[in-house]
Structure 1
Amino acid sequence: MKKFIPSQIFIEKDALKYKLTHEIIEKFKNNNIPIFEENFKKTFKKLNEQQFFAISKKTLILSVNKNKKLETCKPSADYQFSLVSGCPGICEYCYLQTKHACSPYIKVYVNIDEILDNIQKYIDNNRPKITTFELSSISDPISVEHITGSVKKTIEFFSTQTYGKLRLVTKFTNIDSLLNINHNNNTKIRFSINTDYIINTFEHNTSSLEERIESAYKILSSGYNTGFIIAPIIVYEGWKKDYENLFSYMKRKLEEFKNKEISFELIQFRFTLKSKDIILKRFPKTKLNLNENERLKKWGPYGYYKYVYQKEISNELKKYFYEKIKKYFPNSKIEYFT
């Protein structure tokens, strides 16, 4: 797919102090892309929900991340941090519809040296234990890596760490700049994958399955620890056949790495009433099944009730995926099913 190019760029005042801001401006100064030094939300505050969402997904905001306290990120890692907030992908089910409902735009944090200095303090304070960090909890930083170069710099930072490990996940394929750098086996790159039906129906403006597997091949060839997240797992007519076709296709394309331990993380589709409301406003014709009466109600970690599959369906899914993954990838590791 074509790399993301913003329709407009907004620069927050504090961001003007940082080198990365001016490097990004330089990249786009000859592209006839409007660049504003003003507040994005105030500029577009009169738009309705769909209009604001649509323009946000085409907008790049250069900002400063001042948050020094990192949130935990179980079961993926000990902590999470961000180089970017949001992404140009338009996934109808995205859980950020709830957590970042008012900020669907792509925000790049330009103070990367300060962010990494803060990470260093967390690593040092936890020595001699190894501390793991998730980079993709509220964003897909690979989606704008061709603009920022921040992921490359972060991987190189972690390559020097004895007690720090990095994890990230993506639906995009801007990974060529990461292939010939020293990662020192301290970074794990995972690809979010799903059936063609789910990608084509719900994951708009993201890379195709074929592109993701091709990029996974490159990452494996470069010696990275590599894994796959199947999320969200959605039950629909023909889901078993489609998921088996997915595993069969992956096995053929990645046969060269059959003896390498590749990990899988499995996440079922869930939603909250708040996310349901936002999804229906933004995607009124969505094919997502958002009927909470067919679901099991559970208390979620972010202060909302979430609606998950009934136990019978959940148990069937877990059994099916464990069997198929072991069939096609016998040396793989399933990190969790949730």
Structure 2
Amino acid sequence: MLDKVQPAPVAQGSRLWRPKRVLLSRSAREWAHGRAIAERAASQGIPVFELLTDRLTLDLPNDDPRRAYAQAKSTLAVVVAPPSKRRLQPIAPSADWRVDLAEGCPAHCSYCYLAGSLKGPPITRVYANLPEILDELPRHLGQGTVTSRQSERAGEGTTFEASCYTDPLGIEHLTGSLSETVKWFGAWKADAQLRFTTKFDAVEPLLRIDHGGRTRMRASLNPSLFARHEGGTSPVASRLDALRRMAEAGYPVGLTIAPIIAEPGWEEAYGMLIADAGRALNGVAGLDLTVELITHRFTPTSREVLSGWYPGSSLDMGPDGRTEKRTKFGSIKHVYDAPTMKMLRRFFETEIAAQLPKARILYFT
């Protein structure tokens, strides 16, 4: 018998993901958090399939990649994170450590950072053993290399990034994982901070939590010119409104302008975006605002995967204006060339200083 769980409160008019099916693995049923996720989905009328094993069984068509993608993207799996997934990894320049509450994302972004990074079909997997995941964090306090050691960001304490492999707010109405983690950080009397970035706006479950100022929400933004690349997400204006409500609730907040796309019209479009952010946050008392600037990049593998997922995308992933860069793992990624990067950086630093004078730019990459 699954525990009775009330649906999480959501913003009126919020764009919420509704998967067509939820798969509950055998091991996930042993965790109260896993059972709660399944019950929450069932209470919303979503079919829940209780699996007899921990193997995810989803009969995807082999002869139709687009249909296979659609079926996988409309599936939420509740599983148990193995020790290898609970082992924290450094995640510079964003934070000291990566903490994964889930893997996969319901959005349909044609530049998706996860493409080529995650193995198998793009099913969203959420972890039932949240207590085990959180138990790993205290031993990493003060052990990172970004905010733990860099004097310019030391005020953030040891930072834990929850958005590397998922958008935790985009699935929060089903999982409750982000709320539980925010509560955990709020009660953890340590010099530490949880961080998450999102393209969604349903922040209601977070507004009344005793967060203790130890969680920073960032809105992931791109101007309307490039909105065609961000399917299934909340409108940018709604994300900015959600960011303001979080700031008014005492959360430190931020902008993740990503990926910065240097295509015709970009200067006017990003200038308007920064101005919109300034208007949205104007007058917030005690505003603690950061900005992270991430330019568009891709790997040969991600380009191949994305071309299969979104064959009609107009996103430019050609060689013009690009250069190859080696990652720390030895793989190749394609980034903008040095003149373009210099031009982009100068523009954003100038615009942010003029329109968001209270903001701190954490990094440009």
Give the alignment's TM-score, normalised by structure 2. 0.87
Q: Are the aligned partners of 1:101 and 1:278 in contact in 2 as well (CA < 8 Å)?
A: no
Residue 322 of structure 1, CA deviation: 0.3
Distance across 2 between alignment mates of 1:97 and 1:83 = 18
What pairs up with 1:269-308 in 2 under 5 angstroms? 269-308=296-335
1:88 maps onto 2:106 in alignment: yes
Question: 1:327 — aligned with what?
Answer: 354
- Out of 315-324 and 49-58, give the one that drifted further: 49-58
Matched residue pairs, number? 335
Alignment of 1:122-201 (within 5 A): 122-123=140-141, 130-159=157-186, 160-199=188-227, 201=228
User: CA shift at 1:321, angstroms?
Assistant: 0.4
Q: Which moved more, 1:99-108 or 1:267-276?
A: 99-108
Where in structure 2 are the equivalents of 1:256-275 lying within 5 Å?
A: 256-257=283-284, 260-275=287-302
Tell me which residue corresponds to 2:67.
Answer: 51
Deviates more, 1:242-251 or 1:115-124: 115-124
Match status 1:10 vs 2:20: no
Partner in structure 2 of residue 117 of structure 1: 135
Larger helix proportion, structure 1 or 2? 1
The match for 2:275 is 248
Distance, in Å, in 2 between the alignment partners of 1:286 and 1:194 is 16
Superposed displacement of residue 104, structure 1: 1.3
Change (3 A) 1:304 1:51: farther
Q: Distance in 1 between matches of 2:123 and 2:80?
A: 15
Report the CA distance shift for 1:321/1:31 in structure 2 as closer, same or farther (over 3 A): closer
In structure 1, what residue type is equivalent to 2:104?
G
Question: Gapped runs of 5+ residues in structure 2?
Answer: 1-13, 149-156
Range 77-86 or range 298-307, more displaced: 298-307
- 1:100 corresponds, among 94, 118, 142, to 118
Give the match for residue 79 of structure 2.
63
Deviations 1:238-270 (Å, cap 9, x if unpaired)?
111111111222222221138734111000001
2:39 to 26, 41, 44: 26
Mapped contact 2:24–2:38 kept (Cα < 8 A): no
- Report the residue type matching 1:178 in the other structure: L
Structure 1: gaps (5+ residues): none
**Partner secondary structure for residue 75 of structure 1:** coil
How many angstroms apart in 2 are the aligned matches of 1:26 and 1:110?
Answer: 13
CA deviation profile, 1:189-214 (whole Å, cap 9, x unmatched): 11101101212x10000000111011
Give the secondary-structure state (helix, strand or coil) at the position aligned to 1:190.
strand
Distance of aligned partners of 1:32 and 1:324 in 2 relative to their CA distance in 1, 3 Å threshold: closer
1:337 maps onto 2:359 in alignment: no
Q: State the alpha-carbon separation in 2 of the partners of residues 234 and 74 from structure 1.
A: 21
Q: Is the CA contact (8 Å cut-off) linking 1:228 and 1:265 kept in structure 2?
A: yes
Deviation at residue 171 of structure 1 after TM alignment: 0.6
Q: Distance in 1 between the 2:117 and 2:305 partners?
A: 11
Query: How far apart are the structure 2 equivalents of 1:185 and 1:32?
Result: 35
Aligned to 1:210: 237
CA distance in 2, matches of 1:63, 1:322: 42
Shift in Å, 1:31: 5.1
Deviations 1:40-81 (A, max 9, x none): 355326354322221111101000112332111001111101
Could you tell me how far apart the structure 1 residues matched to 2:81 and 2:185 are? 19
Q: Is the 8 A contact 1:258 1:329 kept in 2?
A: no
Whole-angstrom CA distance in 2 between matches of 1:31 and 1:336? 40
Measured on the aligned residues, the alpha-carbon RMSD in Å equals: 1.9
Structure 2 counterpart of 1:74: 92
Tell me the CA shift for residue 125 of structure 1: 7.3
Preserved CA contact (<8 Å) 2:216 2:253:
yes
Deviation at 1:301, TM superposition (A): 3.4
**Is the partner of 2:131 in helix, strand or coil?**
helix
**C-alpha separation between the residues in 2 aligned to 1:162 and 1:30?**
36
Residue in 1 aligned with 2:152? none
The one-letter code sitting in structure 2 at the alignment partner of 1:316 is M
